[in-house]
Structure 1
Amino acid sequence: MATKVLMPQLGESVTEGTISKWLVKVGDTVKKYDPLAEVTTDKVNAEVPSTVSGTVTEIVVPEGETVAIGTLILYIEESGAAGETVAAAPAQTPPATEAVAAAATQQAAPQAGAPVSRAVEPHATKQRYSPAVMALSQEHGIDLSRVTGTGAGGRVTRKDVQAIIDAGGQKPQQEQSEISRAGQEATAAPAPQVPASSAPSAPAAPAANVDIPVASGDEIIAVTPIRRTIASRMVQSKHDAPHAWTMVEVDVTNLVNFRNQAKAEFARKEGLNLTFLPFFIKAVVEALKEYPMINSTWAGDKIIVKKNINISIAVATEDALYVPVIKDADQKSILGIAKAVDDLATRTRAGKLTMDDMTGGTFTVNNTGSFGSIQSQPIINSPQAAILSVESIVKRPVVINDMIAIRSMVNLCMSLDHRVLDGLICGRFLQSVKQKVESIGPDTKLY
């Protein structure tokens, strides 16, 4: 009998994954740890490795489908195997650690001849919906509680929602059953091979399926899994967390002078460019020690104050935004933080992030100033309670001792979850960060 391969656990709090691309087809011979599929989650994209060596005999879940962790996704006839083995592909085996963001941004059609049987093992979903389903339903005003799911264990899939949209939108309660039956019949049939640009998981291009008219010459860009996930998470954060904002301006003249004096020697010794970001992260980390409530998260009936201080940083690529994490940032020097920032940024742009790199963040520092921004209102990186944006450093006239002077100034903008934090503690926290940044000078230790 064939070995079952299940959707693996792809990080903490991850409950489901989307098969964005199969890397094998029925009849292929694979070795243990060979990549089988590219999977998109709400955390990161990753490759699912094979847990055995053998021949692929059946692909159960088609491309573009979102399924729960532990769902059967394909069968492999193990070389020399006498019986069935149930194996969940581990997320931490060596080949699974590389994120494949670039490859997963396009969803291809099911492999030719690959079965797309829906005979997956049942899993209780309890009204959980994938990011793709949530985004599509919100865009078109679909009440998901009225949608009959055709996925595993009655799960509502993107095809179910798309069937309602294609039929002209959600009908009154008595008509909805007909739409649901139509969706079930469509799902039961094998999916035809189609170009990637028209794969079922991609947003429909015709103007009839969108609310905004498309004029001649307009360009229509299919939403990639990464962009869809970002959209879903941002909507969720704004919906769940009542955002409040506050800002302070900081005189960083001494920091600019110190960095200018130290950067050449630092680059020679360490092989790194000494940027301003590690100084701000160091100040934030020290302030979080003083105000640990900032380093917390809302958990419904309780607030969890995190012991570890793990700083998430935003790293942009050409087509997406990733938020890798500097673990135990409070135990690092400015040099250690600089190395961590450089390493994470380099591996993000090379598509080499691991699942561990993307999880565990407790507070986010966003370097919007690198794009010339001087003020912003960042969206909280859920489930964290706050995010700080470091804006662009600019010279401007300020009043010091009743005299006008030209100083290097920067705005620090903070968004906070008002369920967890109030203006008083956030104001004190920002003042602490401000004081620490303004005290940087010749005596500041980099190591």
Structure 2
Amino acid sequence: MAIKTIVLPGLGESVTEASITNWLVQPGDQIERYQPIAEATSDKVTTEIPSDYAGTVKELLVEVDRDIPIHEPIMTIEVAMSQDEETVEETVRPAEKAAADQTKRGRYSPAVLKLSQERHINLAEVTGTGRHGRITRKDILNFRPEQAAEEQAAVTSTAAEVVQTDGVRKAIAKRMVQSVNEIPHAWMMVEADVTELVKLRNAHKTAFKEQEGISLSFYPFFIKAVAQALKKHPKMNASWVDNEITFFKDINISIAVATDDHLFVPVIRNADELSVKGIAKEVNRLARAVRNNSLTAEQMQGGTITVNNTGSFGSVMSQGIINYPQAAILQIESINKRVIPTEEGGLKFADIINLCLSIDHRILDGLAAGRFLADVKNNLLQFNSEADIY
């Protein structure tokens, strides 16, 4: 007889801890290999944990509803298998051994494991069609060894390079997955006439560059318009965490700055207190820090809403993923000439832009989003004199 330990298996990428929500066995129970022993819940998934061994349950090592790290021991079991028998099993049944190893990572259900062993299928060769790429019973029933060989050949022939993701990309991925999984996104778009704003910026961009030493883009005008609108719509300046809504008094606007490989979101603090000139200088300073690789973690913390200048790439419509745990992200699209009707019944050329807003539908609804966008749009119409820059 030997005592074996069962650990909490991996429950998905970026999941570092989980909790046992229900034990399905008790000390003294006789259990079979792959029999479900517990239900575990993380922030991403709830799943049954199968046993790696057949034997008698000795001890449950963790309490229900207590968060524990992945791979933490959760149970001990007394097994009858000798060391020699283990060696024989590893030699004679390598496919079953590989399935058991994968089970420790929480990828396969007991039904899939049993069926794959009956059909002598190596699960490493099967492509899963279930959620998050999980292998289902149907995948096993439809599996053809020659198909796996063809798929592997295709991957080998087309893959040019495989690289490990760095820390920045992993952090971005984790935050985006968290946002999509936890925040119910809703989306709204409005058109805005920025003809006067275009005239104002074009008339003063040369003098601004000479006096201030930096270029005057349209981005600071949009950030200023958003900051002004947030003062009238504090619900937009919020976050939902642990079933509590926090409404922020400070207006700290996250801006998106892209490099060839990454996207950073440094923060302009108290943006409502700055002029367009002041915002332009902050955008320039933060963008320089990103590209010089000198941006600090502190400069990316404390943002309450994100304004993304997607129009700089020529985009005309996009749906942003909210920068968790903020309540909204506004995508500023490209400015395009259009013919629009006048109030007198005629037609005119105008500079039109789309404002695309994603919101957290737990905090905000269409009415709040619509009113906020209407004020942003109206603020943009007000930019028409040099005084609006300084």
Secondary structure of 1:216's counterpart equals: helix
Q: Unaligned regions of 5+ residues in structure 2, if any?
A: 1-13, 18-39, 53-66, 72-99, 115-147
Matched, 1:229 2:171: yes
Tell me which amino acid in the other structure corresponds to 2:351: S
Q: Partner of 2:389 in structure 1?
A: 446
Q: Partner of 1:164 in structure 2?
A: 102
Task: Using the TM superposition, give the Cα deviation of residue 305 of structure 1 relative to its aligned residue in structure 2, in angstroms.
Answer: 0.5
Give the direction of change, closer, same or farther, for the CA distance of 1:166–1:421 in structure 2 (3 Å limit).
Answer: same
Matched, 1:413 2:351: no
Task: Using the TM superposition, give the Cα deviation of residue 336 of structure 1 relative to its aligned residue in structure 2, in angstroms.
Answer: 1.0
Select 1:216's aligned residue among 123, 147, 157.
157
Give the direction of change, closer, same or farther, for the CA distance of 1:253–1:343 in structure 2 (3 Å limit).
Answer: same
Q: Partner of 2:317 in structure 1?
A: 375
Q: Partner of 1:350 in structure 2?
A: 292
Task: Using the TM superposition, give the Cα deviation of residue 302 of structure 1 relative to its aligned residue in structure 2, in angstroms.
Answer: 2.4
Q: Is the 8 A contact 2:321 2:329 kept in 1?
A: yes
Deviations 1:158-183 (A, max 9, x none): xxxx962898942429989xxxxxxx
- Aligned counterparts, 1:23-38, within 5 A: none
Deviations 1:18-37 (A, max 9, x none): xxxxxxxxxxxxxxxxxxxx
Give the direction of change, closer, same or farther, for the CA distance of 1:295–1:445 in structure 2 (3 Å limit).
Answer: same
In 2, Cα distance between the equivalents of 1:174 and 1:227? Answer: 33
- Overall identity of the aligned pairs, in %: 46
Q: Partner of 2:213 in structure 1?
A: 271
In 2, Cα distance between the equivalents of 1:263 and 1:311? Answer: 24
Matched, 1:425 2:368: yes
In 2, Cα distance between the equivalents of 1:282 and 1:241? Answer: 26
Tell me which amino acid in the other structure corresponds to 1:247: M
Q: Is the 8 A contact 2:49 2:106 kept in 1?
A: no
Deviations 1:242-263 (A, max 9, x none): 1110011011110011001111
Secondary structure of 1:214's counterpart equals: helix
Task: Using the TM superposition, give the Cα deviation of residue 398 of structure 1 relative to its aligned residue in structure 2, in angstroms.
Answer: 1.1
Tell me which amino acid in the other structure corresponds to 1:438: L
In 2, Cα distance between the equivalents of 1:222 and 1:280? Answer: 38
Deviations 1:228-247 (A, max 9, x none): 32222212111111111001
Q: Is the 8 A contact 2:50 2:103 kept in 1?
A: no
Task: Using the TM superposition, give the Cα deviation of residue 147 of structure 1 relative to its aligned residue in structure 2, in angstroms.
Answer: 10
In 2, Cα distance between the equivalents of 1:356 and 1:414? Answer: 26
Deviations 1:247-301 (A, max 9, x none): 1101111001100111111111110100000000000000000000000111233
Give the direction of change, closer, same or farther, for the CA distance of 1:174–1:260 in structure 2 (3 Å limit).
Answer: closer
Select 2:201's aligned residue among 256, 259, 262.
259
Give the direction of change, closer, same or farther, for the CA distance of 1:171–1:325 in structure 2 (3 Å limit).
Answer: same
Deviations 1:19-72 (A, max 9, x none): xxxxxxxxxxxxxxxxxxxxxxx9xxxxxxxxxxxxxxxxxxxxxxx89xxxxx
Q: Partner of 2:264 in structure 1?
A: 322
In 1, Cα distance between the equivalents of 2:250 and 2:153? Answer: 46
Select 1:333's aligned residue among 258, 272, 275.
275
Q: Partner of 1:249 in structure 2?
A: 191
Q: Is the 8 A contact 1:311 1:364 kept in 2?
A: yes
TM-score normalised to the size of structure 2? Answer: 0.64
Q: Partner of 1:74 in structure 2?
A: none
In 1, Cα distance between the equivalents of 2:179 and 2:152? Answer: 24
Give the direction of change, closer, same or farther, for the CA distance of 1:211–1:442 in structure 2 (3 Å limit).
Answer: farther
Task: Using the TM superposition, give the Cα deviation of residue 212 of structure 1 relative to its aligned residue in structure 2, in angstroms.
Answer: 11
- Aligned counterparts, 1:85-234, within 5 A: 143=47, 155-156=69-70, 164=102, 169-172=107-110, 214-224=155-165, 225-234=167-176
In 2, Cα distance between the equivalents of 1:411 and 1:440? Answer: 17
In 1, Cα distance between the equivalents of 2:328 and 2:163? Answer: 32
Tell me which amino acid in the other structure corresponds to 1:382: Y
In 2, Cα distance between the equivalents of 1:396 and 1:278? Answer: 23
Give the direction of change, closer, same or farther, for the CA distance of 1:167–1:436 in structure 2 (3 Å limit).
Answer: closer
Q: Partner of 2:347 in structure 1?
A: 404
In 2, Cα distance between the equivalents of 1:344 and 1:147? Answer: 52
Q: Is the 8 A contact 2:200 2:386 kept in 1?
A: no
Question: Aligned residue pairs: how many?
Answer: 279
Task: Using the TM superposition, give the Cα deviation of residue 222 of structure 1 relative to its aligned residue in structure 2, in angstroms.
Answer: 2.3
Q: Partner of 2:140 in structure 1?
A: none
Q: Is the 8 A contact 1:324 1:357 kept in 2?
A: yes
Task: Using the TM superposition, give the Cα deviation of residue 350 of structure 1 relative to its aligned residue in structure 2, in angstroms.
Answer: 1.5
Deviations 1:366-392 (A, max 9, x none): 000000000001011110000100000
Give the direction of change, closer, same or farther, for the CA distance of 1:247–1:154 in structure 2 (3 Å limit).
Answer: closer
TM-score normalised to the size of structure 1? Answer: 0.56
Q: Is the 8 A contact 1:147 1:156 kept in 2?
A: no
In 1, Cα distance between the equivalents of 2:225 and 2:51? Answer: 49
In 1, Cα distance between the equivalents of 2:265 and 2:294? Answer: 13
Give the direction of change, closer, same or farther, for the CA distance of 1:407–1:146 in structure 2 (3 Å limit).
Answer: farther
